[in-house]
Amino acid sequence: MHDTMDRLDSEREARVTGGVLSDLTRDDLLQLLPGERLWKLFCIRPSAGRHTDLRHWIYTKVKVDGRLAMVTFAVHTPTKGRQARSAIARVPDLSAAALEQIIESVRKQALAADDEYEETDLSGAGNLSEQLRLLSEAET
């Protein structure tokens, strides 16, 4: 269970998870329902967007029936210290193979190099509470 997060060093954890916990709890972007859990979180930072701190986020969950669902959006900082979300899109049902195709497509469109792509795999955690605890620990 801790193996997934232990693989990430503390600096990388902070980059990947900064703000994610708030997105998932306060703003409920993934719209988690009872019995669902997080699966993987993806962050893509194209070098072309560095002046506005552009990031493309993809949050995924495992539904009760074992299928995946996702929400994707862009975050940028047009004004110093104020982040804005745009292009929010939801896919309510997809397979792991379809998700991989979507991620690869986003990476290609963003022209993101390998060091501009991060994945946090939370699938090894036992339940949603444990996943949120791991994210909380990574943000502190």
Q: Where in the chain are the domains? A: 3-139
At 46 the pLDDT is: 67
How many Å from the N-terminal Cα to the C-terminal Cα in the chain?
Answer: 19
Number of other residues whose CB lies within 10 A of the CB of residue 115: 8
Residue (of 139, 128, 107) closest to 16 by Cα position: 139
Handedness of CA 3, 7, 10, 16 (dihedral sign): negative
How far is the C-alpha of 116 from the C-alpha of 52, rounded, in Å? 15
Rg, the chain, Cα only: 14
The pLDDT profile of the chain, 140 residues, written as one tens digit per residue, is 334 334 333 333 334 445 788 888 888 889 999 999 999 999 887 665 555 577 889 999 999 999 999 999 988 777 776 777 888 999 999 999 999 999 888 888 777 677 778 889 999 998 999 998 888 887 76
Measured between alpha carbons, how far is 5 from 128 in angstroms, rounded to an integer?
Answer: 15
The per-residue pLDDT for range 51-61, each reduced to its tens digit, is 557 788 999 99
